[in-house]
Structure 1
Amino acid sequence: MCEQILGIQPAAEDEKPRPRRTQADKWAMNLAAARQFYEREGHLRVPRQHIERIAVASGDDSRDGESGGDREEREIKLGAGVGNQRSRAATLSPERIEQLSAIGMRWTQALSGGSCDY
């Protein structure tokens, strides 16, 4: 009806919004950004405003007609992310705490609700 009366055409594949990222996908990207920062800098004392650029696989939902193995660059607000994880340390799962600790996260007193040592 919209097509006949109003002349509205369905959206083409390149016009459709990308699927939303899951929380697990967001965690994986933030962890990859933290790992990249740690490998380059040797610490996770990330300035609050720091943005880390990482390359991630485009996936099969690539809308540009290219193969699914392509990589795209993403900007991750790593400074805010690391600060948030430190402040929420008491509610993080043991697996996530272990993953962050493995790449150099310092949790001093953060698990007990106090201030933390960067």
Structure 2
Amino acid sequence: MNDTPMDGAITRTSDRGLNQELAYAGVPSFMRRRYTKDLQGVDIAFTGIPFDHSTMNRPGARYGPRAVREQSALLAWGAAYRWDFSPFEICNVVDYGDCGFDHGKLDEIPQRIEAHTAGILKQGAAALT
């Protein structure tokens, strides 16, 4: 039987502590945190804004949230550099997913982003994007 933790984004039972998983496998989430829309008791909710219509010469910025999730897996297992504590031991941190919007309706996007973020703040969590 394999006891290597996998897919903590969907199988974690605690929002605190470190989670050591293979960086190249499993469901990517910010710092290997749990995916959830339920923010009861959550201190910080990571959320992505996959948008690049306003960038020039930088197409692909919309893939930024996914890239942050994938690369943060390399850091999720260890203590923060030069800190004598782990923020994940004192804060409940989750991955809330991305803000959804229709790229064909540019006039609605700012309001969608504001409403998405307000929904996080209304539940008492800080938004990190």
TM-score surpassing 0.5? no
TM-score (norm 1): 0.21
TM-score (norm 2): 0.20
If asked which structure has higher relative contact order (CA below 8 Å, sep 6+), I would say 2
Structure with the higher helix share, 1 or 2: 1
